[in-house]
């Protein structure tokens, strides 16, 4: 997997964090279900408010009956490269919980935040194991909601496209130059002491 040598952290960032990035060039090969289960298990250990664990990971592997269905919800641009991947995981979360005190539904305001934390752990675990992951939001959310047969109190957030990274030459010419780790805004633009700074916008 290509690392990110040109990224310039402002402190001693762990390599597993700095080297994680989102390629689009994948080798069209299958993934062992046991490998995928390890990645999903990593997501299970994310922190969550009140330990509600609202996340759910709904997945399909290449060359299985659900694969084409999972691909069909992607916008054409994403499908054009994701169809070479090995697995797709849709990250969803439950938006309510049932109160122990009243027995009534109660909103979970952190459900998306918690699901995002779980998603990052999946990505880091996969990256450490030599797999590439590209998270995407470019899919028809209504079709995915229906196709995944989600109840109304669940929300679909993103999909993780997982595969073995291939050479950029495998991509259409227009995407090859984009196949490299991206930089990030300077820390001073995103982290403020005491209060928000409009200069960071």
pLDDT for 1 equals 43
Query: Can you spell out the DSSP letters for 113-179?
Result: HHHHHHHHHHHHHHHHTT-EEEEE--B-HHHHHHHTT--TTEEEEEEEEEEEE--GGGS-HHHHTT-
Distance CA 22, CA 116 (A): 16
pLDDT for 7 equals 73
Taking only the tens of pLDDT, the chain with its 201 residues reads 444 446 777 788 898 998 899 999 999 999 999 999 999 999 999 999 999 999 999 999 999 999 999 999 999 999 999 999 999 999 999 999 998 888 999 999 999 999 999 999 999 999 999 999 999 999 999 999 999 999 999 999 999 999 999 998 888 888 888 888 888 888 999 999 999 988 766
Structure tokens at 146: 């229906």
pLDDT for 3 equals 45
pLDDT for 201 equals 62
Structure tokens at 168: 């950029």
CATH topology of domain 21-169: NADH Oxidase (3.40.109)
């Amino acid at each position: 997997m290509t690392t990110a040598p040109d990224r310039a952290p402002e402190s001693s960032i762990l390599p597993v964090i700095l080297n994680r990035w989102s390629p689009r060039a994948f080798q069209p090969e299958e993934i062992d279900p046991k490998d995928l289960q390890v990645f999903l298990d990593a997501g299970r250990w994310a922190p969550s408010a009140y330990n509600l664990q609202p996340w759910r990971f709904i997945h399909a592997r290449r060359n299985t009956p659900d694969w084409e269905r999972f691909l069909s919800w992607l916008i054409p641009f994403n499908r054009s490269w994701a169809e070479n991947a090995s697995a797709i995981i849709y990250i969803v979360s439950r938006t309510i919980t049932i109160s122990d005190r009243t027995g009534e539904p109660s909103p979970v305001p952190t459900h998306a935040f918690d699901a995002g934390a779980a998603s990052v752990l999946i990505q880091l675990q996969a990256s450490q194991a030599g797999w590439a992951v590209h998270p995407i939001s470019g899919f028809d959310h209504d079709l995915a909601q229906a196709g995944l047969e989600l109840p109304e109190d669940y929300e679909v957030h993103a999909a993780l496209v997982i595969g073995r990274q291939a050479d950029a030459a495998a991509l259409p010419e227009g995407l090859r130059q984009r196949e490299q780790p991206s930089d990030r805004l300077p820390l001073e633009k995103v982290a403020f002491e005491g209060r928000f700074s409009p200069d960071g916008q």
